[in-house]
Amino acid sequence: MKLFVLFLTIAALSVSCKKSSSGDATVQYQFTSDVSANYKIEYADADMVHTESFQGTSWSKSVVLKSDPSVGNIRIARLVAYPPSSWANTTNQAHVNLKIIVDGTAQVNKDTLMTGSHAGSGIFEICSF
Query: What is d(CA 77, CA 114) in angstroms, rounded to the nearest whole number?
Result: 21
Whether residue 10 is contained in a domain is answered as no
Note the pTM of the prediction, 2 decimals: 0.79
Question: Tens of pLDDT along 9-58?
Answer: 333 333 322 333 467 899 999 999 999 999 999 999 877 899 999 999 99
Distance CA 6, CA 99 (A): 46
Residue-wise pLDDT tens digits, 108-129: 999 999 999 999 999 999 998 8
Asked whether residue 109 is assigned to any structural domain, the reply reads yes
CB 110 within 8 A of CB 29: no
Domain assignment present for 101: yes
Length of the chain in residues, anyone?
129
Give the number of domains in the chain.
1
Which domain does 70 fall in, by range?
Answer: 22-128
Asked, for residue 11, whether it belongs to a domain, the answer is no
Report DSSP state, residue 24: -
Flag whether 15 is in a domain.
Answer: no
Tell whether 7 is covered by a domain.
no
* Within-domain flag for 9: no
Q: Yes or no: say if 81 and 35 are a contact pair by the CB < 8 Å rule.
A: no
Domain assignment of residue 103, yes or no: yes
Q: What is the CATH number of the domain that holds 35?
A: 2.60.40
